[in-house]
Amino acid sequence: MDPECGTRPAYYRSPLRIMGGDDVKPGTYPWMVSLHGGRNQVFFCGATIIHEQWVMTAGHCVGEGDTTNLTYWTIKTGNTRRIAYSKHLQVRKPLAIIKHPAFSIKTVENDVALIKLDKPLAMNDFVRPICLPEMQPETGTRCYAVGWGKNSEKALFYESNLKQVPVDVTNWDYCKHATSNNEHFSGVPFNLTQTMFCAGGSSLHDACQGDSGGPLLCRKENTTDEWYQGGIVSWGVVCGTPNTPGVYTRLILYTNWIHETIANNTGP
């Protein structure tokens, strides 16, 4: 039987302390996936498990180029430390990479992609799916950005250990104003659209390079510890800039496409 999405039976609270975030213990986010490229399996993006044979990431992590060279890709899950050995680690290769048909690398609108794995994952307490959203998280909702991204704009390396940082969903109009009026915005080729929403804005509390494709995780209402993915880490102006939220794919807009894509590409 498939495990219930958004649950984490191996999780236990820890006092141990993404950008400004806390280290994550094994089993805390069992749906987390890392994407690696090339012969040396260089980490470059996050992703999440949504089905035993499917993971989801950002369209810009996949790019607009050739996705037929599937030997380039390596997909890893079950480990919170990218470099250290984990007995829970599972490694897969892609069978297919499917970008949203309206994704644009120039605007990063519709920034979502699905990867079908070469064989199903073995589901357990450390490897299990996240729930897709049933509604858009409201302004003020406390969610968590999770990933192995850099801990600052100037950092040279990605984090070796998975990190989490709390961020609150912000008002869309406020975010539109904050991003477009940031002094660094002239160097950003994107504009906030209705396919996107924002979270964060506190100094040093943000997703950063390398967190792309990973999730914005929100707790389900009226539960103590059940989670859904409200968004996908998409883009930002400068990591951790005060009063400038990070931008996420509005995932609720794509749930029908996700279900249809999986159904249409799952054969007997």
Amino acid at 261: T
Residues 260 and 242 in one domain: no
Residues 66 and 87 in one domain: yes
pLDDT score of 219: 95
pLDDT score of 15: 41
Answer whether residue 149 shows pLDDT above 50.
Answer: yes
Query: Which comes out higher in pLDDT, residue 188 or 88?
Result: 88
> Residue 70 domain-assigned?
yes
Tell me how many domains the chain contains.
Answer: 2
Residue tagged active-site, from 60, 100, 205, 211: 60
> Residue 10 domain-assigned?
no
Q: What is the pLDDT of residues 77-87, one digit of tens each?
A: 998 877 777 89
Answer whether residue 173 shows pLDDT above 90.
Answer: yes
Residues 242 and 260 in one domain: no
Minimum mean pLDDT among 3-7, 10-14, 48-52, 200-204: which range? 200-204
Q: In the predicted model, what is the mean pLDDT of residues 233-260?
A: 85
Residues 166 and 234 in one domain: yes
State the chain's maximal CA–CA distance in angstroms: 54
Residues 216 and 124 in one domain: no
Residues 168 and 118 in one domain: no
Residues 155 and 215 in one domain: yes
> Residue 16 domain-assigned?
no
Residues 258 and 241 in one domain: no
Phi first, then psi, for residue 239 (nearest 5°) are -55, 130
Share of the chain above pLDDT 90, in %: 53
For 173, the 3-state DSSP assignment is helix
Residue tagged active-site, from 22, 111, 206, 211: 111
Residues 145 and 244 in one domain: yes
Predicted TM-score (pTM) above 0.85: yes
CB 126 within 8 A of CB 10: yes
What is the average pLDDT score of the chain? 84
> Residue 103 domain-assigned?
yes
Residues 169 and 36 in one domain: no
Answer whether residue 27 shows pLDDT above 80.
Answer: yes
> Residue 135 domain-assigned?
no
Residues 123 and 161 in one domain: no
Q: Which two tokens stand for residue 242?
A: 């005060």
Query: Which comes out higher in pLDDT, residue 178 or 76?
Result: 76
> Residue 217 domain-assigned?
yes
Q: How far apart are CA 4 and CA 70, in angstroms?
A: 30
Answer whether residue 230 shows pLDDT above 50.
Answer: yes
Q: In the predicted model, what is the mean pLDDT of residues 32-43?
A: 90
> Residue 159 domain-assigned?
yes
Answer whether residue 160 shows pLDDT above 90.
Answer: no
CB 47 within 8 A of CB 55: yes
Q: How far apart are CA 249 and CA 35, in angstroms?
A: 18
Q: In the predicted model, what is the mean pLDDT of residues 171-188?
A: 74
Answer whether residue 16 shows pLDDT above 50.
Answer: no
Output the domain CATH number for residue 180: 2.40.10.10
> Residue 14 domain-assigned?
no
pLDDT score of 111: 96
Amino acid at 29: Y
Our answer to whether residue 111 is catalytic in this structure is yes
Q: Which two tokens stand for residue 214?
A: 């990973």
CA distances from 62 to 29, 68, 103, 219, 264 (A): 23, 11, 11, 28, 20
Residue tagged active-site, from 51, 100, 206, 212: 212
Share of the chain above pLDDT 70, in %: 79
Residues 35 and 125 in one domain: yes
Q: Which domain holds residue 32?
A: 28-129+254-264
